[in-house]
Structure 1
Amino acid sequence: MQLSVRSETGLLKSVIVHTPGKEVSLVNPELKDELLFDDIIFESDARKEHLDMLKVFEAAMPKNGTIHEITDLFEEALSAEDARGYFIEQLIKQLPQENLKAIEQDLFRLSATELLRFVIDGATPSIPEFNMHPTPNLLFTRDLSAVINDSILLSQPAKKARMREAILMDTLIKFHPLFDNIRKNTISITKQESIEGGDVLVASDKVVLIGMSERTSFSGLMNATKGLLDQGVEHVLAVDIPKQRSSMHLDTIFTFASPTECVAFPPAITERQNNVVALRSQNGSIISESMPSLKQALEELLERDLTFINCGGANRTNQFREQWTDGANVFAIAPGIIVGYERNTNTFNELKEHGYRLMNQYEFIEEYKDALFDPADKKIAISFLGHELCRGRGGARCMTMPIARKS
């Protein structure tokens, strides 16, 4: 399959996810803050909620659509001796605080499966006296990279807790055949910078948004911008957002529902002014232009009117409550076909006011599981249960890495 993503809302053809496993059960209350979680997660319920979300995807995707579990891809990549050697070398080099050099030969003796479980869970019976913290954030595959047109932007995490995921993703892109057609177009930044996929939104093949957030540094944004402009993107909109836990990435406060509609958290998006800079290339230099608002910048560059739909509706308290539980973090399966957590009832009611048909996961699956889903001329907001998943502070978009959409 040709990997390519030219918008946030094109029909989903291929996506990478991670259904939570043992690693989330290894997070104890004393470690949760260090591991970037606000609460502990009950694994079995979180798994069921995640698998139910994937059933919605399966009902909506074309027959040749593919959902890849990222651990399967990792294991396939690590089965090659050169990939395993590169991966272990990078672990030792980039995680000096873990003292992995002391067990280097033990790591080489592990099978691909054992090595992967060791890195994700932080321990393996094959090396009984050595352990690390688990990597529960693997659930949020969005942050590891972003396919943009025919390029792939490799993330560089801001927090040490996510460094092993980044090394895994780097190895995956370098060695797995899934990325053969796009590998030469990898955009990387240095280890001194940071950028994460939750801050990257593909408005069109010519316009990309990057949030300057708690997790994406100014230098990371600028170097990613240079790579994107060099590979054909015409404008990058740098969006300055509050540097705080509740809005850790741009997609926690702003996402696309259709080519002309977005879900936005008003205090951080529609009520903000002069926080957007349009960046473009001219004669080998990056030229910047301050824009009065995100809406005006998008409408000018996309050459179409946009409707911003309030996360949480009109009530201020509801806006803050539902942004906290990822009401603004919807994921488009197709233009105007979106999924989000059921608990954000005021956001869904606001979508209904804008012409969306509301369906829960069971209704949607029942209606379309045995029929080819045609998204044309439809607007559907699909709710799914996420009472455990949302404890990790991420919604449907956070838990998905699209690698192919219909242009």
Structure 2
Amino acid sequence: MDINVSSEIGHLQGVIVHTPGREVSLVNPELKDELLFDDIIFEEDARGEHLDMLDIFKAAMPSGGQVIEIVDLLLEVFEQDDARAYFVEQFVKEFPEANLHVIEQEMTKLNNQDFVNFIVQGYLKNSKGFTLNPSPNLLFTRDLAAVVGGNILISKAAKKARRRESLMMETLVNFHPLFKSVKENAIRIAGQQSIEGGDVLVVSNKLVLIGMSQRTSFSGLIKATEGLLDNGVETVLAVDIPKQRSSMHLDTIFTFADHNECIAFPPAIMEQEDNVVALFKDGDSIKTETRQSLLLALEECTDKDFNFIKCGGEDRTNQFREQWTDGANVFALAPGIIVGYERNTNTFNSLVEHGYDLMNQFEFVEEYSKKELDPNSGKKIAISFQGHELCRGRGGARCMTLPISRKPLTV
């Protein structure tokens, strides 16, 4: 597979996901805040909802498209002794308080399934009850990395609860053959800096948005920007957003739906001024210029008029309620073909008013499992899917996907 993502909306060809498993059932209510969950999730229903979402992806993807489970990649990569040794060494260093050195040799000898179960679920068989916290946030594969053009930016999680996932992704990029083409030019974030994939939106090969959020530090943003500008990106728009749980990443309040249409949470995007800084190369240095708004910055950089569709519609209360349940966090399968949680009815009504046909998950799968989706038809479809358990984890369709391959846009 050619790893390349040159837009947020190009026809999806390859995506990495994680269907929730036992790790979400191991979230103790007393530890949920530490594990970055607002509520506990019923595994069986969440798993069914996630699999239904993947059926939508498979119906929309072209022939040869791949939905890849990250656990399958981990099982494959740990067949390599050097990959296992690398992960274990870094694991012990990254979490000194866990005393992992006690079981370091045991980890190197586990069979692959038991080892992957341990790093995802936190439970190690036959080791006198040695346990770690589970990794329930692996569900949100978006935050592990961002493919920008033919490059990959490896995230560095802001919270310790997710740093195990960052190490998983680093190991995959270093050792799995899927990432061979991007391994050498991977953009890495070091030290105490942080950046997460939910803050990185690819407008084109030349233009990228990065949110300066609760999870992406200023230094992490600058380091990522330096790497991107050294690898073909011409402009990074840094978007300063509220540093709070409800808008932890830029994509929780803003996502792309079509060539010039986006879903936006009005208070944090449409009503803000002077919160965008353009960063670009000026000789060997990086120059910065403030922009009046995200809308004007996008229009200036792309020479296109943009339409921001309001998450939650016109009513203020609905805007806040539906942003809370990821109404602004839609995922584009192709230009104008987007997926989001069914419960955000006012957002879907706004999309209908802007020319989108509304289909539920079953209608879409029924129709497009029998015929090829034409991404250039000009037809716009907003697909709703049930996610009553999934949304308890505070992440929508974009949060649960890491696209690694999209077809280039033709217009």
Q: TM-score, structure 2 length as denominator?
A: 0.98
The alpha carbon displacement at 1:129 in A equals 2.4
- The aligned residue for residue 52 of structure 1 is 52
Matched, 1:403 2:401: no
Aligned counterparts of 2:302 and 2:128: Cα–Cα separation in 1: 56
The alpha carbon displacement at 1:366 in A equals 0.8
Aligned counterparts of 2:397 and 2:104: Cα–Cα separation in 1: 37
The alpha carbon displacement at 1:340 in A equals 0.1
Alignment of 1:6-405 (within 5 A): 6-375=6-375, 376-405=377-406
Aligned counterparts of 1:131 and 1:28: Cα–Cα separation in 2: 14
Q: Which moved more, 1:366-375 or 1:200-209?
A: 366-375
Q: Do 1:8 and 1:256's aligned partners in 2 also have CA atoms closer than 8 Å? A: yes
Look up the equivalent residue of 1:318 and give its one-letter code. Answer: N
Segments of 5+ residues of structure 1 without an aligned counterpart are none
Aligned counterparts of 2:74 and 2:128: Cα–Cα separation in 1: 23
Question: 1:187-209: CA deviations, max 9, x gaps?
Answer: 00113100000000001111000
Question: 1:319-375: CA deviations, max 9, x gaps?
Answer: 000000000000000000000000000000000000000000000011111211213
Look up the equivalent residue of 1:97 and give its one-letter code. Answer: E
Aligned counterparts of 1:259 and 1:99: Cα–Cα separation in 2: 50
Segments of 5+ residues of structure 2 without an aligned counterpart are none
Q: Do 1:150 and 1:185's aligned partners in 2 also have CA atoms closer than 8 Å? A: no
Aligned counterparts of 1:126 and 1:2: Cα–Cα separation in 2: 41
Look up the equivalent residue of 2:144 and give its one-letter code. Answer: L
The alpha carbon displacement at 1:255 in A equals 0.1
The alpha carbon displacement at 1:184 in A equals 1.3
Q: Do 1:295 and 1:306's aligned partners in 2 also have CA atoms closer than 8 Å? A: yes
SS class of match (1:187) = coil
Q: Which moved more, 1:85-94 or 1:118-127?
A: 118-127
The alpha carbon displacement at 1:182 in A equals 1.2
Aligned counterparts of 1:281 and 1:113: Cα–Cα separation in 2: 46
SS class of match (1:220) = helix
Aligned counterparts of 2:126 and 2:75: Cα–Cα separation in 1: 17
SS class of match (1:102) = helix
Q: TM-score, structure 1 length as denominator?
A: 0.99
Q: Do 1:156 and 1:191's aligned partners in 2 also have CA atoms closer than 8 Å? A: no
Instruction: Tell me the number of residue pairs that the alignment of Structure 1 and Structure 2 aligns.
Output: 407
Runs of 4+ in 1 over 6 A off after TM superposition: none
Question: 1:205-228: CA deviations, max 9, x gaps?
Answer: 110000000000000000000000
Look up the equivalent residue of 2:167 and give its one-letter code. Answer: I
Q: Do 1:110 and 1:126's aligned partners in 2 also have CA atoms closer than 8 Å? A: no
SS class of match (2:384) = strand
Aligned counterparts of 1:372 and 1:334: Cα–Cα separation in 2: 12
SS class of match (1:87) = helix
Question: 1:73-131: CA deviations, max 9, x gaps?
Answer: 01100111010000000000111111101111111111121111101111121323211
Aligned counterparts of 1:231 and 1:85: Cα–Cα separation in 2: 30
Aligned counterparts of 1:241 and 1:334: Cα–Cα separation in 2: 27
Look up the equivalent residue of 1:101 and give its one-letter code. Answer: H
The alpha carbon displacement at 1:253 in A equals 0.0
SS class of match (1:105) = helix
Look up the equivalent residue of 1:244 and give its one-letter code. Answer: Q
Look up the equivalent residue of 1:119 and give its one-letter code. Answer: I
Question: 1:117-152: CA deviations, max 9, x gaps?
Answer: 101111121323211100000000000000000100
SS class of match (1:228) = helix
Q: Percent identity?
A: 65
Question: 1:55-77: CA deviations, max 9, x gaps?
Answer: 00011000110000000001100
